[in-house]
Structure 1
Amino acid sequence: MTSNLFSLAGKKGLILGIANDSSIAFGCARLARAMGAEVVATCLNDKARKFVEPHTQPLGIDLLHCDVEVEGQLQAAVAHAVEKLGRLDFVIHSIAWAPLQDLHGDVVDSSREGFARAVSVSCHSFAELGKLCAPHMPDGGTMLAMTYLGSGEVVPNYGLMGPVKAALESVVRYMSMELGSKNIRVHAVSPGPILTRASSGIADFDTLMATAQSKAPLQRLVSLEEIAQLSAFLCMNAASGMTGQTIYVDAGVHAMD
């Protein structure tokens, strides 16, 4: 029994949102495979596939497209994963997006349409995922979403994504209550800033990273591997008593304000 506590061997997971080999979703998928899990992963479209498939194919990761704004694609991704794997033990949602004109402006200047699309893609898709995946997690399991410190405090230039991530963290808490009777645990992982395709859309992101490093008790930024390690632990049997949390992996920056 104890040999399975800190293992992903034999577990089956769906990981959404790989953009390239620097993305958080890829770091999670790579480590999950190294630890013995079977993984189905998604990228956005054909354009993204050429950056993703050279890294996922050697790992034996089944890759498919999923644009959560296209009707039916999220449902199709879950159906494909279930058909391929037979069940789901963990699901990792690493999708965030907002229109650039809204992301780069003040929150008060954001358009109603842009705000709604950002919430739909970055937040509500996780709730949809919960509804779709829960019936295929007969033994329970773990669902993870990715958030950021800007959800709970003002981070310069994070703008519109701050309120969106705040909504996501609230969704995580409600999902943990609603799915708890099925032994499905739900968390938000809050990494420190790392350079990904998604983060490159944030204005002055280099300054944000430098500020985080200067504030961090560990006096550095975290790595993709460290984010994946926390995510992997939360999907293990050893984390069975935890749910509904926002858990930081940010070299301690969250503790400094």
Structure 2
Amino acid sequence: MSHDNSARDPLPKIWDEDTRVGDMLKGKRGLVVGVANGDSIAFGCAAKLRAFGAEIALTYLNDKARPHVAPLAEALDARLLMPLDVSQPGQMQAVFEQLRETWGTLDFVIHSIAFAPRDDLHGRVIDCSQAGFLQAMQVSCHSFIEMARYAEPLMNPGGALITMSYHGADKVVDHYNLMGPVKAALQSSVRYLASELAERQVRVFAVSPGPLRTRAASGIDHFDALIDMAISRAPAHRLVDIAEVGRLVAFLVGGGASGMTGDTLYVDGGLHHMA
């Protein structure tokens, strides 16, 4: 798939229809982690949060990724664009220190990153290496816990921490393999973090989209078959898109979800209901 999306091409597709809603999130500020290009789930979240009035900060993985992310950050008028490789010591701390210096407080953090080594991801869970399992857990799960720890002292009451999961955390999905147990751990972490942060009036969620044609998802073995299965079995008989994921995230960040926390919310056209 192409990763050469221009700065302006993807924006109107998921931006214009919601700018009419107004400033539902005006005054809210937060960090979105995981934008790789205009097809990223994280970009869908960032674009919708911005469309509803929030100020956003973005990160990029490394120097190779920056040229793909920087034009998107400019198009969304992102206040900050910072490097973040969660496997590199000190980078996450530096991101949150910059957020503290620039804004002082936060209203949301969106965590949309995951990784597993190819050999471990494409093989059976029983055959995965210890190193591969630990790397997948560190990048995909523990990094969310670490972000919550750095975000905690900055979070305003009513703030939200949101990560991305998948139905393979709940049920066995062919070829999802190692990421199934990893995402299950992530969803469990959401529940525990929600309990621990409730006293500070900080809410925690996992959002579980259906399969999407993103760069990250393309690493899953037989991904086209997974897409075909989702379309055929979901009651809606279609894939969701990043705009639909972004609208759900905007709802969770906003006051309409003030009575919710610790939940995994699905935006998959009803796929997770099907046996």
TM-score range (shorter-chain normalised) is: over 0.9
- Write the distance in 1 (CA, Å) between the matches of 2:253 and 2:260: 10
- Write the distance in 1 (CA, Å) between the matches of 2:164 and 2:171: 16
**Counterpart position of 1:58:** 75
Q: Does the 8 Å CA contact 2:195/2:262 hold for their aligned counterparts?
A: yes
TM-score normalised according to structure 1 size = 0.96
1:151 maps to 2:163:
no
1:27 maps to 2:44:
yes
- Write the distance in 2 (CA, Å) between the matches of 1:68 and 1:148: 21
1:45 maps to 2:62:
yes
**Counterpart position of 2:85:** 67
- Which residue, out of 70, 80, 86, partners 2:104? 86
Q: Which runs of 5+ in 1 are unaligned?
A: 1-5
**Counterpart position of 1:228:** 246
**Counterpart position of 1:36:** 53
| CA apart distance, 1:55 | 1.5
Give RMSD over aligned pairs: 1.4
Please list, as runs of the form range in 1=range in 2, the aligned pairs for 1:176-191 lying within 5 A after superposition.
176-191=194-209
Instruction: Give 2:195's aligned amino acid.
Output: M
Please list, as runs of the form range in 1=range in 2, the aligned pairs for 1:125-144 lying within 5 A after superposition.
125-144=143-162
3-state SS of the aligned residue for 1:46?
Answer: coil
3-state SS of the aligned residue for 1:53?
Answer: helix
- Which residue, out of 241, 249, 257, partners 2:259? 241
| CA apart distance, 1:81 | 1.9
Give the aligned length: 254
- Write the distance in 1 (CA, Å) between the matches of 2:150 and 2:236: 39
| CA apart distance, 1:113 | 0.5
Provide Cα deviations, 1:75-130, integer angstroms capped at 9, x if missing partner: 11111122222210011000100111111111111000110010000000111111
| CA apart distance, 1:172 | 0.2
- Write the distance in 1 (CA, Å) between the matches of 2:111 and 2:33: 5
Q: Which runs of 5+ in 2 are unaligned?
A: 1-22
Q: Does the 8 Å CA contact 2:158/2:258 hold for their aligned counterparts?
A: no
| CA apart distance, 1:195 | 0.6
| CA apart distance, 1:58 | 2.1
1:120 maps to 2:105:
no
- Write the distance in 2 (CA, Å) between the matches of 1:153 and 1:222: 19
Provide Cα deviations, 1:28-70, integer angstroms capped at 9, x if missing partner: 1111111111111111011011111112112211211100000
Provide Cα deviations, 1:181-239, integer angstroms capped at 9, x if missing partner: 00000000000000111101001111101100111111111011000000110000110
Q: Does the 8 Å CA contact 2:209/2:266 hold for their aligned counterparts?
A: yes
3-state SS of the aligned residue for 2:218?
Answer: helix
**Counterpart position of 2:232:** 214
**Counterpart position of 2:117:** 99
**Counterpart position of 1:164:** 182
Q: Does the 8 Å CA contact 2:156/2:202 hold for their aligned counterparts?
A: no
3-state SS of the aligned residue for 1:89?
Answer: strand
Q: Does the 8 Å CA contact 1:38/1:85 hold for their aligned counterparts?
A: no
* Percentage of matched positions with identical amino acids: 53
3-state SS of the aligned residue for 2:82?
Answer: strand
3-state SS of the aligned residue for 1:9?
Answer: coil
- Write the distance in 2 (CA, Å) between the matches of 1:203 and 1:144: 26
- Write the distance in 2 (CA, Å) between the matches of 1:48 and 1:161: 23
